[in-house]
Amino acid sequence: MGGGGRVVITGIGAVSPLGLSAPDTWTELAQGHSGIDYITSFDTEGFETRFAGEVKGFVPENYMDRKDARRMDRFAQFAVAAAQEACRSASLDIQSLDPYRTGVIVGSGIGGIVTLSQQYQVLSDRGPRRVTPFLIPMMLGDMASAQVSMAMGAMGANYCVVSSCSSGADALGQGWEMIRRGQADVVLAGGAEAPITPIAVAGFNSCRALSRFNGDPHRASRPFDRDRDGFVMSEGAAVLVLESGEHAAQRGAAPLADLLGYGATSDAYHLTEPNPTGQSAAKAVQMALKSAGIQPSDIDYLNAHGTSTPLNDWQETKALKLALGGDAYRVPISSSKSMTGHLLGAGGALEAAICVMAIENGVMPPTANLVEADAECDLDYIPRTAREGEINVCVSDSFGFGGHNSVMVFSKPGQEA
């Protein structure tokens, strides 16, 4: 097939702090419920932050053979579960297609840090000969993508995108590009992360990134609020089935949404801080809109990166004003991280799934915990309660440590310019 055609989303799957499926996640999100609570996976005594967005009730053996599960890090287990749901949602049987025309791109910012942390303790306590031979194939960042490929029988291009908190968004963007240039008919694209370990929490605490609102974890993630004090670390995965419009039509699949455009830039500024001008992030938004063939006036809803850190929320607000002009004040905007927390490399993928479900349901999730807006964050950030309204065009942006800026544009099926 030739390149440059329509790219549609035919299936979504998610494992998140709000639920073990995309519909369950959406139900909780639309009601403004929080998935943040005290950490149960390790003893947090002595830690500045004692809460996170843990996935609750996940049993790997419900999704895969026990032997296979034992050879996967938690982040890869999440990815396989999300991919299975996405394929069911899309009524996609890869074995009935050309498997070499089906790719897999699953981003992750940290990869198998759970296994690495555990095995470093084994090394310290019991010596080098007791380290598992599966350490390396479990900790590598590409193993979520590889495990999804094996589980689903996808034999096309298969790799991991690593761009910090933009990883999941960039995976979708690269899948979009792959289909448009005619390299694949179908791409399972998304992100997976399982970072809730002592070393990760301690590390993010040390760089003053995490919220320390230990008295009430449900209220800790407060994007754009005057009293926000950092992001909330979370785990989970989301995978979307991307297809060429022609391929979806041939197999009778009904698209859930179109992926219209993608833009990415780099701040080239600082290891962790966004560029204070907001210009590079704004450029990514403008590039995505241009590739989608739409104007700021066409946007009905924007799912913000909205991490709840002081610098990100200020600079994101500034970037949106630069990119959208006067429409920045018109467009309803919210941060679903106020309820899910920040899934790091999986965040952009989960938020893409949320955008698709927002389009389907005509509901814009709220920015929970936004009680008193920061004076510098003066856009319409949908405080506390979801808002109903027709969504024809939706934008999602993701920004990562290292200056990564990644933006996607979605629409109702068939709304492409």
Structure letter (DSSP) for residue 210: B
User: Which tokens is 377 given?
Assistant: 């964050």
Query: Would you say residue 1 lies in a domain?
Result: no
Q: 187 and 52, same structural domain?
A: yes
pLDDT confidence of residue 402: 85
Consecutive H or E run containing 121: helix 113-126
pLDDT tens, the chain, 417 aa long: 345 689 999 999 999 999 999 999 999 999 999 999 999 999 999 999 999 999 999 999 999 999 999 999 999 999 999 999 999 999 999 989 999 999 999 999 999 999 999 999 999 999 999 999 999 999 999 999 999 999 999 999 999 999 999 999 999 999 999 999 999 999 999 999 999 999 999 999 999 999 999 999 999 999 999 999 999 999 999 999 999 999 999 999 999 999 999 999 998 888 878 888 889 999 999 999 999 999 999 999 999 999 999 999 999 999 999 999 999 999 999 999 999 999 999 999 999 999 999 999 999 999 999 999 999 999 999 999 999 999 999 999 999 988 899 999 999 998 754
Residue that finishes a domain, picked among 223, 250, 277:
250
Please confirm, yes or no, whether 87 is among the known catalytic residues.
no
**Domain holding 377: CATH number?**
3.40.47.10
2, part of any domain: no
Q: Three-state DSSP class for 347? A: helix
Tell me the DSSP string of 126-151.
H-GGGS-TTHHHHHSTTHHHHHHHHH
pLDDT value at position 414?
A: 81
Residues 268 and 219 placed together within one structural domain of the fold: no
Residue 116 lies in a domain: yes
Residues 6+ apart with CB under 8 A from 120: none
In a domain, 255, yes or no: no
Whose CA is closest to 17, among 204, 221, 166, 170? 221
pLDDT score, position 117: 95
- pLDDT, residue 3, reads 53
At 14, which helix (H) or strand (E)? strand 7-15
Q: 297 and 202 share a domain?
A: no
Pick the last residue of a domain from 226, 250, 274: 250
Question: Does one domain contain both 56 and 97?
Answer: yes
Asked whether residue 288 falls in the same domain as residue 325, the answer is yes
Give the pLDDT confidence score for residue 417 in this predicted structure.
47
Q: Is 165 labeled as catalytic in the residue annotation?
A: yes
pLDDT at position 391 is: 98
Please give the residue range of the domain that contains residue 21: 7-250
- What does the pLDDT read at residue 275? 81
In a domain, 276, yes or no: yes
Are 406 and 284 found together in one domain? yes
Helices (H), 225-295: 245-250, 279-292
Measured distance CA(113)–CA(148) in Å, rounded: 18
Q: Does residue 417 form part of some domain?
A: no
β-bridge mates for residue 237, sequence order: 15, 192
Residue 256 lies in a domain: no
Q: Of the residues 87, 160, 247, 305, which is catalytic?
A: 305
pTM above 0.85, yes or no: yes
Element holding 15 (H helix, E strand): strand 7-15
Q: How far apart are CA 286 and CA 293, in angstroms?
A: 10
**pLDDT computed for residue 1 by the predictor:** 37
- Number of domains present in the structure of the chain: 2
- Same domain? For 310 and 406 the reply is yes
Asked whether the CA dihedral 414, 149, 344, 22 is positive or negative, the reply is positive
> Is 350 found in the same domain as 375?
yes
Whether residue 203 sits in one domain with residue 281: no
**304/341 same-domain check:** yes
Catalytic member of 87, 247, 342, 355: 342
| 170, 296: one domain | no
How many Å apart are CA 334 and CA 351, to the nearest integer? 11
Domain annotation covers residue 383: yes
**CB of 172 within 8 A of CB of 242?**
yes
Same domain, yes or no: 290 and 186: no
Among residues 165, 355, 377, 394, the one annotated as catalytic is: 165
Q: Which of 229, 250, 271 is the last residue of a domain?
A: 250
